[in-house]
Amino acid sequence: MVLELRNAKKTFGEGNTLVEAMKETNFLVERGELVAVIGPSGSGKSTFLTVAGGLQSPSEGQVIINGKELSQLNEKQRSKVRLQEIGFILQASNLVPFLTVDEQLELLNKVKKDNMSKDEQRKLYEDLGITKLHKNYPSDLSGGERQRVAIAKALFSKPSILLADEPTASLDSDRAFEVMELLRNETKSNQTATIVVTHDVRLIKYVDKVYKMTDGVLKLESTAEKDLGLTE
Amino acid sequence: MFLAWSEIKKNKLRFLLITSILLLVSFLVFFLSGLANGLASMNREAIDTWNVDAVLLTEESDKSLYESALNKEVADELDAKETAVVSQMGAIANNGDTKQNVMLFGIDREEFIKPEVSEGDPTFYVQNGVVASDVLKDEGFKIGDTLELSSSDTELTIVGFTEKARFNASPILYMKLNDMQKIKFGDAYTMNKDVVNAVVVKDKDWDTLSLPDNTEIIETETFIENLPGYTEQNLTLTYMIYFLFVISAAIVAIFLYVLTVQKISMFGLMKAQGISSAYLARSVVAQTFILALIGVVLAFGLTLLAGSFLPNAVPIMFDIPTMILYGLILIVVAILGAVISVWTIIRIDPLEAIGG
Ligand SMILES: Nc1ncnc2c1ncn2[C@@H]1O[C@H](COP(=O)(O)OP(=O)(O)OP(=O)(O)O)[C@@H](O)[C@H]1O
Ligand SMILES: [Mg+2]
């Protein structure tokens, strides 16, 4: 296993203002597995994803990434785990405004070893359809192109875990399907554990498992699309 | 540094602004240091040329050459390695065209403080002949000029010029001690012909000498610091320079802080990805260093260039080691200005940048 949450719970505030953003959760994702987390706005999806990604600590319980229990680590060590193990594709564009597409990836080469080779990078650009954009700055890209570059950036570091929050939100349907296809291929070929938070139920056909988040409760919904019958 | 340099390349205008402000401040620092140096040298260059260790004055003169009067015999009483007597008198010299505030220095022929003549008669020791500070050439004074003095009927003749001969901001006219005493004391000459202002001493062990009655011996540096206006002038300029250091730290701090605050969410996203605070902080420091270095180096060149266009009347003299020291201080101070930004970066919570 790669990523596990054991009795993990996240609350904000206390007393009258206490919010249980994520109730006690047990969750496991294996290498080569692509899972979706769906649920209404405010149900706790991002909370779940950021706790799982070590960006915030659970109020109770444990998060274990590749055998490392995150609460045993200090912020510096957690930051290192994020750098080495996790690729984030976030709701907000996570591109650096003053770096070109190439430089966005180059930056990772400066802070981390074992990223994609030049050939792998070229292949990735082709898969994502951003080959011609490699010298552009983020301000010269469309929303969808920016999202695809963000994906390239997340995959470039060859993470063992991919965490994506609404990765297809600013893409048209065709592109959205292509991106999901790509995430699926990456998951299978690199044996990453991939969690995708999404509103778009049409994308569920690409994933292995679907979890539904309702009022902070995460529940395994189905392992196949045909059983879902979901409407958002 | 990759990140630092990429950002400078992309946002040239922004960084040009901060660099040019740093450049202007550095320019001002260099210029003021040149001015301080030039003004100091106007006061002390003659004494520096003499290369003496100490000065003997009367006790009640309170370290002032002008107020001191002692018999030149004390030079022999003093058991120092080398001594020279100096008789001084201020005057207005007029060559017919120009009037100029000067200082007459009467000295003995065989004294070691005898000026090196850069132009004219090297054995200047002739009746009422003077060797003048070469700055007077800029005022139109020439060899052979006859000088009328404000306070005497005696006329002097310029027989030569010498370099680095200003004292307390006035050009010196060196002359024969006896001629000078006649001018200085007039009718009372016979009685006062041996009264001089000071004895200058070349002897490393000057502070162990036994002193004649009512005299005081002071280190050359102390003597210079007590020249009227010298310390005040120096301190004023030095404080201005120190203040400019503070200003440049503040400018850099404010500017970088504004830039950093604009980039908080970007830094947060990078931190979420696992890029360490240390890397980001180093990048900001590297950026500051690059900008400060460019600003200071350009200012350095510009100062020297501007200096070469200034008329000689502007008392500017650049001391390269001092300028290099001040340049380094400016860079260090700029980096100190980046500390607030570094602190801000360290405290950014990656989670906030990500939002829901
Ligand atoms: N830092 C916080 N302090 C207090 N409450 C918070 C905080 N972060 C999240 N919450 C609350 O926790 C709940 C879950 O928020 P979360 O962002 O996880 O929802 P979400 O499912 O991602 O919503 P969306 O689909 O709109 O992104 C919400 O009620 C939210 O107000
Ligand atoms: Mg969310």
Round to whole Å and give the CA distance between B141 and B269. Answer: 73
Domain region containing B112: 46-226
CB within 8 Å of chain A, chain B residues 272-311: 272-277, 279
Please state the rounded mean pLDDT for residues B185-194: 93
A173-190 and A118-128 helices cross at what angle (nearest 10)? 150
Domain boundaries, chain A: 3-221
Is B121 in the same domain as B165? yes
Is B52 in the same domain as B34? no
Is B262 in the same domain as B138? no
Task: Please give the model's pTM, rounded to 2 decimal places.
Answer: 0.84
Ligand nearest to the CA of A11: 1
Tokens of B257: 């802080």
Round to whole Å and give the CA distance between A48 and A196. Answer: 11
Q: Is the CB of A21 under 6 A from ligand 1?
A: yes
Give the nearest partner residue to A111 out of B7, B275, B356, using CB atoms. B275
**pLDDT confidence of A92, banded at 50, 70, 90?**
low
* B121 compared with B156, residue with greater pLDDT: B156
Average pLDDT, chain B: 93
Is B27 in the same domain as B96? no
Q: Which of B226, B245, B277 is the last residue of a domain?
A: B226
Is B50 in the same domain as B126? yes
Query: In a 10 Å sphere around its CB, with 0-12 CB exposed, 13-18 middle and 19+ buried, how is residue B44 labelled?
Result: buried
Whether residue A166 has pLDDT greater than 80: yes
Q: Is the CB of A47 under 6 A from ligand 1?
A: yes
The per-residue pLDDT for B294 is: 96
The DSSP line for B126-166 is STTEEEEETHHHHTT--TT-EEEETTEEEEEEEEEEESS-E
The DSSP line for B48-113 is HHHT-SEEEEEGGGTT-TTT--EETTHHHHS--SEEEEEEEEEEEEE-SS-EEEEEEEEE-TT-TT
Which residue in A230, A223, A180, A229 sits closest to A203, CA to CA? A180
Please state the rounded mean pLDDT for residues B138-153: 92
Is B238 in the same domain as B346? yes
- HEC per residue, A11-54: EECCHHHCEEEEEEEEEEECCCCEEEEECCCCCCHHHHHHHHCC
Tokens of B329: 């201080």
Round to whole Å and give the CA distance between A129 and A125. Answer: 6
pLDDT tens string B285-328: 999 999 999 999 999 999 999 999 988 778 899 999 999 999 99
Q: How far is residue B284 from each of residues A109, A121, B22, B267, B339, measured CA to CA in Å?
A: 19, 29, 16, 11, 9
CATH (one of 3.40.50.2300, 3.40.50.300, 3.40.50.10320, 3.40.50.150) for A3-221? 3.40.50.300
Is B73 in the same domain as B182? yes
B346 contacts chain A (CB < 8 A): no
Is B150 in the same domain as B60? yes
The per-residue pLDDT for B193 is: 92
Is B104 in the same domain as B92? yes
Q: Which of B226, B254, B272 is the last residue of a domain?
A: B226
Please state the rounded mean pLDDT for residues A136-140: 95
Q: Which of B175, B205, B226 is the last residue of a domain?
A: B226
Is B11 in the same domain as B37? yes
Report the alpha-carbon angle B228-B230-B233, nearest 5: 120
Whether residue B7 has pLDDT greater than 90: yes
Residues of chain A with Cβ-Cβ distance to B274 below 8 Å are: 79-84, 86, 111-112
Is B220 in the same domain as B248? no
Is B204 in the same domain as B238? no
Q: Whose CA is nearest to atom 24 of ligand 1?
A: A41
* Cβ count near A189 (within 10 Å): 9
Q: Is the CB of A49 under 6 A from ligand 1?
A: no
Q: How many domains does chain B have?
A: 2
